[in-house]
């Protein structure tokens, strides 16, 4: 089921999910798809652990966006740089260097004051959207909990900071973030216990604690079903004598390992299917759920990203 | 004569199995990226240690996995250490030599406990605990999660309540964050910045050097908010000495010879990269790397030549093979499809198994103990499951 507002028609897309589910690779694939649709794309990695560059096989990203493919720009969020940019753009603070202690103090203030790092992150992203420097900004957002703090930061700041320039800025950010035609969040999940539990929790939190539209859940690494109806029984008989020996004769080689492997594949698929049913049952009704097959690929890097973009394109209807 | 594996090693660094390593150490810290089975590995190792090594074993986790809690017979993990019921071991068919205890890290509660310990008097203590800013940031404060994990570990270890403590580390944004958390905490509390920020609110004087900072900060945050922060830190600074001393002691615990690190990973690209990064960081800091546990490793038969040949035949000549099978097996078209599917599935998984085997070979700087844990048929849902998992990496 596709989202109400097509994902890539939005201008700001947050991709989040628990570590290990393939969040960054999905973000990269979305970026690739957007470029193939002829859009001018900014990809931003916000997760400090991000390895977005690996998926395009480019050098590590920096705060200043770099064109890594025609039309595809990549940057890494850095809240200190974001603050400097904000100060020079908005406050017209002259000669940042002379605010000497600022850089040093920054980490301290930012860590102590709730929401400062978050607002600098979201602020920079919203700024790029508002200025229409790109057609779409795709964010490799931090895993689960952190992303809620970021998406909710503008309102939170409104409540905490009673006066000051930051507050003047938060209204237009809230407006951008709350508009489903502009902004959407996507949770990437995998059909495993913890990722499913965290996805359910996160979906609830995004809906209750932020104003951002939850555009959908992408379930990654879905294993294929081996056997259809009536075929399981045949497989069952094959795993027993005399069929096993007959198969060994027919094929002219050992079959034990191959049958074990098939049994493993069936079991893995089955356990994961249970987690998937739980996900379906507990997510808010009507929320688009998209499935991506596990890719048995030997490729890494940009080739693997291309594979993923292809299957994601099929699922999203591009 | 070759030295017997059974000989209890005098040098703990010469341990050759996880059993020996855990027998020789008092603190085991598991680390690795998210989703690799770190928490389950920590719990399984603790269950094995309680069963076979005896003594009091504590698993300290940050992960609120409900099923793991129920596997340990607990309603839920709490900040308070709870003993895993003996009956659970009996039900799993083992008679444990020791006791297994479990606790989950609650960052906010742990901070409160820390404030209670270090506040100079009741008045300051209550003022800090009631401060809205404190309540807001106790969970977010300067990588407080990482720090509090190490702090809790230190507190429990120095209490002498346990023979072995296995800590499951928080999923940090950067793997080495929590290693540096105690140092950073000490730096933070002894920093000039802190004094500097507080100064004008103490003396009502802003000196020439700090003026630009305040005027900028004022314009961004508003002076009321800045003052709130300052007041909070003035209160907090009364705990300065206790904190710095404590943070130093915590750092020392990490490099103590009784502490070891176990890096957990799968053989997927990103976790392996992070595991390697972590191993380098441990080496750099001269911390003891005890073992690497590789989870969810595909069975070795996927790399077997004869099996691969069979799979190829099944995929390519499925019709021919199916024709030779007795009719009793089932509808010939279906039999053919089943055979082709079995072959194709094997070859698919073989691609992954080959890539992962390569990945493992390329891992540099691995310790003596590298355990591989096979893909489990089902999720671990009880103590027996944890012990079954533990058996795969124990000896």
Q: Note whether A254 contacts B67, CB cutoff 8 Å.
A: no
User: Mind telling me how many Å the CA of B7 is from chain A's nearest CA?
Assistant: 37
Reading the block at residue B164, the tokens are: 């072995």
Task: State yes or no: pLDDT of B14 exceeds 90.
Answer: no
Chain A (234-263) residues lying within 8 Å, Cβ to Cβ, of chain B = 234-235, 237-238, 243, 246-247, 249-255, 257-262
Chain A (55-84) residues lying within 8 Å, Cβ to Cβ, of chain B = none
pLDDT in the model for residue A41: 97
Q: Looking at chain B, which residue has its C-alpha nearest residue A226?
A: B341
CA nearest B100: which of B22, B211, B184? Answer: B22
Rounded distance between C-alpha atoms, residue B256 and residue B250, angstroms: 10
pLDDT in the model for residue B200: 59
Q: Which residue has the tokens 């429990």?
A: B156
Convert the pLDDT of each residue in A302-318 to its tens digit: 888 888 899 888 888 77
List, in sequence order, every beta strand (DSSP E) within A103-160: 136-140
Burial of B257 (0-12, 13-18, 19+ CB in 10 A): exposed
Convert the pLDDT of each residue in A247-303 to its tens digit: 999 999 999 999 999 999 999 898 889 999 999 999 988 899 999 988 887 677 888
CA nearest B27: which of B165, B179, B191, B213? Answer: B165
pLDDT in the model for residue A97: 47
Reading the block at residue A48, the tokens are: 């400090």
Q: Looking at chain A, which residue has its C-alpha nearest residue B172?
A: A49
Q: Please report which confidence band the pLDDT of residue B4 belongs to, taking 50, 70 and 90 as the band edges.
A: very low
| Set of chain B residues whose Cβ sits within 8 Å of the Cβ of A54 | 269-270
Q: Can you give B57-71 as a three-state secondary structure string? A: EEEEECCCCHHHHHH
**Residues of chain A under the 70 pLDDT cut:** 1-5, 47-50, 90-115, 144-145, 159-167, 298
- Other C-beta atoms closer than 10 Å to the C-beta of A52 total 26
CA nearest B170: which of B139, B193, B149? Answer: B149
SS3 content of chain B, % helix, strand, coil (to 5): 60, 10, 30
Return all residues near A270 (Cβ < 8 A) that are at least 6 apart.
none
Chain A (152-191) residues lying within 8 Å, Cβ to Cβ, of chain B = 160-167, 190
User: Mind telling me how many Å the CA of B194 is from chain A's nearest CA?
Assistant: 8
Convert the pLDDT of each residue in B51-108 to its tens digit: 999 999 999 887 666 777 777 877 766 778 889 999 999 999 999 999 999 988 777 7
User: Mind telling me how many Å the CA of A16 is from chain B's nearest CA?
Assistant: 14
Convert the pLDDT of each residue in B226-248 to its tens digit: 666 677 777 777 777 777 787 78
Q: Looking at chain A, which residue has its C-alpha nearest residue B333?
A: A231
Rounded distance between C-alpha atoms, residue A125 and residue B259, angstroms: 43
Output the CA torsion sign for A250, A252, A254, A260. Answer: negative
Query: DSSP readout, A233-248?
Result: HHHHHHTSTTHHHHHH
Rounded distance between C-alpha atoms, residue B23 and residue B16, angstroms: 11
| Set of chain A residues whose Cβ sits within 8 Å of the Cβ of B302 | 261
Helix/strand/coil for A45: strand
Q: Give the single-character DSSP code of A89.
A: I
Side-chain half-sphere CA neighbours of B7 within 13 A: 8
Rounded distance between C-alpha atoms, residue B163 and residue B157, angstroms: 9
Nearest to B222 among A164, A234, A297 (CB): A164
Distance of CA B371 to the CA centre of its chain: 16
């Amino acid at each position: 089921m596709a989202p109400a507002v097509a994902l890539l028609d939005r201008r700001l897309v947050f991709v989040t999910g628990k570590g290990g589910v393939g969040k960054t690779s999905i973000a990269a694939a979305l970026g690739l798809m957007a470029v193939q649709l002829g859009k001018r794309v900014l990809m931003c990695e916000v997760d400090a652990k991000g390895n977005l560059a690996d998926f395009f096989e480019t050098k590590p990203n920096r705060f200043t966006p770099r064109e890594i493919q025609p039309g595809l720009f990549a940057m890494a969020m850095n809240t200190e740089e974001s603050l400097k940019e904000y100060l020079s753009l908005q406050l017209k603070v002259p000669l940042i260097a002379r605010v000497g202690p600022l850089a040093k103090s920054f980490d301290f203030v930012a860590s102590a004051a709730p929401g400062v790092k978050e607002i600098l992150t979201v602020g920079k992203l919203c700024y790029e959207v508002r200025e229409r420097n790109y057609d779409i900004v795709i964010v490799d957002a931090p895993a689960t909990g952190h992303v809620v703090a970021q998406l909710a930061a503008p309102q939170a700041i409104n409540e905490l900071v009673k006066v000051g320039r930051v507050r003047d800025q938060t209204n237009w950010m809230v407006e951008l973030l709350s508009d489903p035609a502009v902004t959407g969040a996507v949770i990437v999940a995998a059909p495993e216990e913890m990722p499913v539990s965290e996805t359910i929790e996160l979906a609830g939190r995004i809906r209750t604690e932020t104003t951002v539209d939850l555009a959908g859940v992408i379930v990654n690494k879905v294993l294929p079903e081996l056997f259809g109806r009536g075929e399981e029984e045949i497989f069952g008989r094959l795993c027993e004598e005399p069929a096993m020996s007959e198969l060994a004769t027919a094929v002219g080689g050992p079959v034990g390992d191959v049958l074990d492997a098939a049994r493993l594949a069936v079991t893995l698929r089955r356990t994961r299917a249970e987690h998937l049913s739980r996900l379906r049952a507990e997510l808010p009704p009507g929320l688009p759920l998209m499935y991506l097959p596990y890719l048995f690929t030997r490729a890494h890097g940009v080739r693997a990203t291309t594979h993923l973009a292809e299957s994601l394109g099929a699922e999203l209807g591009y | 004569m070759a030295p017997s594996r059974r000989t209890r090693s005098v040098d703990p660094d010469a341990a050759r199995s996880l059993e020996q390593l855990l027998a020789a150490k008092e603190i085991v810290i598991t680390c690795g990226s998210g989703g690799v089975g770190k928490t389950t590995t920590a719990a399984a190792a603790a269950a094995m240690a309680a069963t076979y090594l005896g003594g009091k074993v504590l698993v300290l986790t940050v992960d609120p996995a409900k099923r793991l809690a129920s596997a340990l017979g607990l309603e839920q993990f709490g900040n308070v250490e709870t003993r895993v019921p003996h009956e659970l071991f009996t039900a799993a068919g083992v008679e444990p030599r020791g006791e297994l205890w479990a606790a989950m890290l609650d960052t906010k509660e742990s901070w409160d406990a820390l404030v209670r310990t270090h506040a100079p008097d009741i008045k300051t203590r209550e003022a800090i605990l009631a401060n809205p800013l404190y309540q807001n940031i106790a969970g977010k404060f300067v990588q407080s999660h990482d720090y509090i994990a190490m702090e809790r570990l230190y507190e429990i270890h120095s209490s002498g309540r346990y023979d072995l403590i296995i800590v499951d580390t928080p999923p940090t944004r950067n793997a080495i964050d929590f290693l540096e958390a105690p140092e950073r905490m000490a730096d933070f509390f002894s920093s000039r910045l802190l004094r500097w920020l507080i100064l004008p609110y103490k003396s009502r004087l802003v000196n020439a050097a700090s003026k630009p900072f305040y005027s900028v900060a004022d314009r961004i945050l508003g002076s009321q908010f800045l003052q709130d922060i300052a007041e909070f830190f003035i209160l907090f600074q009364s705990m300065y000495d206790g904190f710095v001393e404590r943070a130093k002691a915590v750092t020392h615990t990490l490099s103590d010879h009784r502490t070891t690190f176990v890096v957990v990973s799968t053989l997927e690209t990103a976790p392996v990269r992070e595991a390697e990064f972590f191993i380098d960081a441990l080496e750099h800091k001269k911390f003891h790397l005890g073992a690497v546990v590789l989870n969810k490793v595909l069975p070795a038969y996927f790399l077997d030549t004869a099996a691969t040949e069979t799979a190829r035949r099944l995929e390519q000549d499925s019709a021919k093979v199916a024709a030779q099978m007795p009719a009793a097996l089932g509808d010939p078209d279906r039999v053919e499809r089943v055979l082709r599917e079995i072959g194709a599935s094997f070859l698919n998984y073989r691609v992954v198994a080959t890539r992962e085997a390569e990945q493992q070979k390329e891992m540099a700087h691995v310790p003596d103990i590298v355990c591989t844990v096979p893909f489990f048929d089902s999720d671990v849902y009880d103590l027996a499951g944890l012990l079954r998992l533990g058996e795969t990496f124990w000896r």
